[in-house]
Structure formats: structure tokens, C-alpha cells
């Protein structure tokens, strides 16, 4: 029996996944959560095998929760379910420990297949993500600038484009303000922008703003 958890800030999305999965033989839904805090509390008493995770949560970004889960519950397979296409976040999420990445408009067959795949300890890689991985391994240089950010830089980047201040980010990531400021400077340099406003514009142009 595969024990599932659904973490998404939209109740209607959680309900849709529950309806889609509740009658699937060999699967049971242990809990659902609308925030990162709810998910972390539930995981203390309700273990699961596969956790379906949205990237956008009201209290913590999906990438931050992903890293926390992998640090505390390394046996849980995290399957990212996003409204964004693979080109935007798939590789970054996989590098940060996700077992797979799916778009929310995927069909039921793909979702079930992905859950079974990651539950066996394997990565679920769609055809598109496989192409992206192949391009990365081949060292192709036409990747967008944000794909060159380190894991920590990506964390800071995602918070900056949401409008978080350096001090807020420092507190959330348990870093010093000076360290976060350094990461911010590196991000601006790599993306060739000079301010948070230009950073937000870059994110908008590349479809990176998580709603």
C-alpha cells in the first residue's frame, strides 16, 4: 500500500487529487495540508511514502519545504506538482531532492505512473525533463541564466521575487543578513540585473513568478 500526502494551498486542487486517487487500488491518502506548517506537523504522526507538493505555499516556498522534508524524512519521495512547465523548475527541483516533477494539467495515467515510479525509489522523469537533463549533461550553453543559480541562490531568488526583504529571508533561512546580501549580489550579477525591480521583471519575463 502506497501512503500518500497532498500539500497544496488550494483546497479545490487538493479535492481534485483526492477524488482522482482515492479509488486507486494500492494507494491511501494519509493526510492533506494547505501550508508547510500543517504538512510538517502532520508528518510527525502520519508518515507517508509519497508526498505531492505544490511549489507555492503561503508560509514557505515549495523548494524550502522540499529541502526540509529531505533533511528530516529522507525516506519520503517528494513528487512536485506544479502549474509551471518543466522548463522552468523541473531541473532545479530534482537537484534539490525531488523524485519527480509533473504539471498540474497532466492526465490521471501520468500521475498514477509517477506515483508508482517514485514509490519504488526511482525518479520519475517525463520526456521533456529527460531532454532537459540530456542538454545539461551535454553542456549546452543556451540555458537561461536562472538555471545557473546554485541551490541556495535559487532559494533566495524565489523569495526575492515574492517581495521578501533581505532580513526576512535571513530569518527564514537561518542565515545572517550579510550572507543573504551576498547571495542577492551574486544573483543580480548572474541574471545581469541591478535591482529587485529588475529581478521581478526578469522573473515575469521568464514565467517564474509562482502564484
Domain boundaries for CATH 1.10.10.10 within the chain: 145-205
Say if residues 15 and 29 touch (Cβ distance below 8 Å): no
Say if residues 124 and 103 touch (Cβ distance below 8 Å): no
140 band by pLDDT with thresholds 50, 70 and 90? low
Cell numbers placing 89: 523548475
More confident position, 98 or 91: 98
The predicted-structure confidence for 125-135, as pLDDT tens digits, reads as follows 877 777 777 76
Give the CATH architecture of domain 145-205: Orthogonal Bundle (1.10)
- At 30, give phi and psi (nearest 5°): -75, -45
Say if residues 39 and 14 touch (Cβ distance below 8 Å): no
CATH number for region 2-137: 3.40.50.2300
Domain boundaries for CATH 3.40.50.2300 within the chain: 2-137
Instruction: Enumerate helices (H) and strands (E) in the chain, giving the number of each.
Output: 10, 5
Amino acid at each position: 500500500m502506497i501512503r500518500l500526502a497532498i500539500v497544496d494551498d488550494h483546497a479545490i486542487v487538493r479535492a481534485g487529487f483526492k477524488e482522482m486517487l482515492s479509488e486507486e487500488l494500492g494507494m491511501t491518502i494519509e493526510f492533506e495540508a494547505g501550508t508547510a506548517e500543517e504538512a510538517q506537523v502532520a508528518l510527525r504522526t502520519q508518515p507517508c511514502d509519497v508526498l505531492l507538493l505544490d511549489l507555492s505555499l503561503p508560509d514557505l516556498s515549495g523548494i524550502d519545504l522540499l529541502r526540509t522534508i529531505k533533511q528530516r524524512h529522507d525516506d519520503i519521495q517528494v513528487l512536485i506538482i506544479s502549474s509551471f512547465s518543466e522548463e522552468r523548475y523541473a531541473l532545479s527541483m530534482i537537484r534539490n531532492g525531488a523524485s519527480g516533477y509533473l504539471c498540474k494539467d497532466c492526465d490521471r495515467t501520468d500521475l498514477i505512473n509517477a506515483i508508482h515510479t517514485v514509490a519504488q525509489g526511482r525518479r520519475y522523469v517525463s520526456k521533456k525533463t529527460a531532454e532537459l537533463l540530456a542538454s545539461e549533461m551535454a553542456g549546452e550553453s543556451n540555458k537561461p541564466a536562472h538555471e545557473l543559480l546554485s541551490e541556495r541562490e535559487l532559494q533566495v531568488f524565489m523569495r526575492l521575487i515574492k517581495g521578501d526583504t533581505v532580513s526576512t529571508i535571513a530569518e527564514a533561512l537561518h542565515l545572517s543578513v550579510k550572507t543573504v546580501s551576498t547571495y542577492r549580489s551574486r544573483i543580480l550579477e548572474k541574471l545581469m540585473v541591478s535591482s529587485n525591480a529588475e529581478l521581478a521583471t526578469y522573473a515575469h519575463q521568464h514565467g517564474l513568478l509562482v502564484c
